[in-house]
Amino acid sequence: MKYAKHEAKAHSRETMRGIWAAALNPFDTDGALDEAGLRRNIRHWIDDLHIQGLFVAGKQGEFWSMSVAERKRNMTIAADECAGKAGTIMSISDQNVDTLLDLGRHAQDCGADYVVVHAPMLSFCHDRDEVLFNYYKYICDRLDIGIAMWSHPDSGYLMAPETCARIADLPNIMAIKYSVPREMYARLTQMVGDKILVSTSLEDDWLDNIETLGWQLYLCSSPPYQIQTARDLRMHEYTELAFAGKFDAARRVRDSLDPVRAAIKGTKPPGKPTAHGKYWQDLLGQVGGHVRHPMLPLTAAEKAATKAAFDHCGLIL
């Protein structure tokens, strides 16, 4: 551990800045994790794209399809490749809290910087605020590493800003990935933005959130390595312009990526975001690989449409 438990909030504010991406995991034709491919992707993301941190073993990484041993190996590889070059935040999310804590202890031991825990699916729940506070407190009491909350619709509900603000008082809660409508994350930023880092995964809003909400962290999804190449670093460029207060210039660079965004959004089949993202990586020369059950692969027609849009989106390869 690089910091004491009570230092998690201050340490994250010092070290979590800029663009952090959520890593897709490449699986080979037999369904095994392509470790060499993952390492190659990570080196490209850090060395060529200047991504400053990685969100590992999360939804993008298809964690629900992986065994505990595979998830641990996923973390270890990322911590090894990122060591001294980029930050890591490992998803230890699981419905079983013993599994979650086992993953959390592994994250601490393998050199991770932080972990993230998504809001659990809840049944027969009437006092959600109390349930969620006690859930995160139970985890915080048993881990020393900095912990980020994560609220998204897949849980079946969204954590209220007031609930998040209460949980933010726990000593090693240091951030939240808040996949909610803008009015909710803006309100939470006003409530506890001086205490924890608030972020959301929508790249389209990143520049505006730097300017109007004072955000320092993009946490995180796949656009940082899908809308950029080693020769075309426009997301990195507009981010640095915004941090320098040059918002008009930043907007011009951001808006120039609209054809790339449109190509991705216009060809992504409903229910196949992971397969589409991996195929887009293949087109970029990264290691995309296959998806695991229950995710569906792209059809030949879907690949053809994506390739045609990719070829005309304006990315410089």
Digit-coded pLDDT (tens) for 151-164 = 999 999 999 999 99
CB 278 within 8 A of CB 316: no
What's the one-letter identity of residue 102? D
What percentage of the chain carries pLDDT values higher than 70? 100
pLDDT at 1: 85
Question: In this predicted structure, what is the pLDDT of residue 220?
Answer: 87
User: For residue 147, is pLDDT > 90?
Assistant: yes
DSSP the chain: --S-GGGHHHHHHHH--EEEEEPPPPB-TTS-B-HHHHHHHHHIIIIIT---EEEESSTTTTGGGS-HHHHHHHHHHHHHHHTTTSEEEEE---SSHHHHHHHHHHHHHHT-SEEEEEPPP-SS-S-HHHHHHHHHHHHHHH--SEEEEEE-GGGSS---HHHHHHHTTSTTEEEEEE-S-HHHHHHHHHHHTTTSEEE-S-GGGHHHHHHHH---EEE--SHHHHS-BTTB-HHHHHHHHHHTT-HHHHHHHHHTTHHHHHHHHHH--TT-HHHHHHHHHHHHTS---B--TTSPPPPHHHHHHHHHHHHTS----
Mean pLDDT of all residues belonging to the chain: 97
Angle at Cα 217 formed by Cα 290 and Cα 150, nearest 5°? 60
Question: Mean of the pLDDT values across residues 95-115?
Answer: 98
**Rounded CA separation 49/305 (Å):** 26
Q: From CA 30, how far away is CA 278, in angstroms rounded?
A: 16
First vs last Cα of the chain: how many Å apart?
Answer: 39
The pLDDT value recorded for residue 266 is 98
Rounded Cα–Cα distance for residues 243 and 54 (Å): 20
What pLDDT band is residue 119 in, cutting at 50, 70 and 90?
A: very high
At residue 164, the pLDDT reads: 98
Separation of alpha carbons 251 and 108, rounded Å:
39
- Sheet with 146-151, edge to edge strand ranges: 197-199, 173-178, 146-151, 114-118, 87-91, 53-56, 18-22, 217-219
Taking the C-alpha atoms of residue 178 and residue 13, their distance in angstroms, rounded to an integer, is 17
Q: Is the pLDDT of residue 206 over 90?
A: yes
Read off the pLDDT of each residue in 79-101 and give the average, rounded to a whole number. Answer: 98
Q: What is the mean pLDDT of residues 120-139?
A: 95
Directed axis angle between helix 247-255 and helix 206-213, to 10°?
Answer: 160
- Quick one: pLDDT at residue 60? 95
In our burial notation (b when 16+ CB lie closer than 10 A, e otherwise), range 153-163 reads eebeebbbbeb
Query: What pLDDT was estimated at residue 183?
Result: 98
259-278 residue pLDDT tens = 999 999 999 999 999 999 99
- Residues 21-77 have pLDDT tens digits of 999 999 999 999 999 999 999 999 999 999 999 999 999 999 999 999 999 999 999
Encoded tokens for 154: 């897949």
CA 90 from chain centre, in angstroms, equals: 9
